[in-house]
Amino acid sequence: MRLKFFKYQATGNDFVMINGFDQPVELSQDQIRKLCDRHFGIGSDGLVILRPEQSGDFFMDFYNPDGSQAGFCGNGGRCSVLMARDIGLIGDQAFFHARDGEHDARVLENGQVLLRLRDVHGFKDFGTEVYVNTGTHHVVVFVDNVEEVDIVPLARRIRYATRYRPEGTNVNFVQVMGDSSIKIRTYEKGVEAETLSCGTGVVASALVSAYREGFDSPIGVETRGGKLKVFFDRRGTCYENVYLQGPVNQVFVGEIEI
């Protein structure tokens, strides 16, 4: 079968995107791994299928590059919204579902996408590590200089730690820059490596910084793939109306035999 696909990226976080409205698409875990492989496939940090949804514009069906399912992907969500507009499913606004629930978003005049994520009601503070679920599992660790972190071995010890089993967790290393801004690096489970950006990790890092540092909305976040902003309303340790804003681009369109 020849499969048409789209390739999108959001601050360096790249995705294979498939239009499930044109034809029913069911892929095995092995097929997803092959499509996401950077040497023998298309290459990406994940795969998204846009599927019909009765109570929304579409359902965002997201998979990690190892073929496993995930609750949500912030950058993948923003890519989904721009793709939905590009193929004529929506105008500039979207209301859609993912495995973690409902989301709304809009494409801004500057081409960036503003996406609402789930509300966050408190954190699990372990001192040197703070856990939060922003649609998927994240741990935030504050460091003096993110560029000096040997990220893979440090992150893997946390990612597989007993307290985060059985699902495991993504790991974010955060450097406070001042003026409500931070710099981060993220290790993503499912990818099992550092990525240039992670949308839910950006939000997790920003909200934990607001919790620990008292930062107000919006918080600027610098990733290795670019800069984003996180907006929120804070009520104690509850964070509502959480939005992620940043650039999204279509990279190319192609076909592949599977």
Q: Is 257 exposed, middle or buried (CB count within 10 Å of its CB: 0-12, 13-18, 19+)?
A: exposed
Domain ranges in the chain with CATH number 3.10.310.10: 2-114+247-257, 120-244
2-114+247-257 classified as CATH 3.10.310.10: yes
pLDDT for 194 equals 98
Half-sphere exposure of 241 (CA within 13 A, CB side): 7
Give the C-alpha separation, 22 to 242, whole Å: 32
Token couple for 228: 């984003």
| pTM confidence score | 0.96
The number of beta carbons lying within 10 Å of the beta carbon of residue 177 is 13
Our answer to whether residue 238 is catalytic in this structure is no
**Cα 14 → chain centroid:** 10
The number of beta carbons lying within 10 Å of the beta carbon of residue 122 is 11
* Pair 81, 113: CB distance under 8 Å: yes
Nearest to 157 by CA among 189, 199, 190, 133: 189
* Pair 122, 258: CB distance under 8 Å: no
Beta partners for residue 10, in sequence order: 13
pLDDT for 236 equals 87
**DSSP element (H, E) containing 222:** strand 219-223
Give the C-alpha separation, 128 to 199, whole Å: 22
Our answer to whether residue 198 is catalytic in this structure is yes
Class of domain 120-244: alpha beta
pLDDT in tens, the chain (258 residues): 899 999 999 999 999 999 999 988 999 999 999 999 999 999 999 999 999 999 999 999 999 999 999 889 999 999 999 999 999 999 999 999 999 999 999 999 999 999 999 999 999 999 999 999 999 999 999 999 999 999 999 999 999 999 999 999 999 999 999 889 999 999 999 999 999 999 999 999 999 999 999 999 999 999 999 999 999 999 988 999 999 999 999 999 999 998
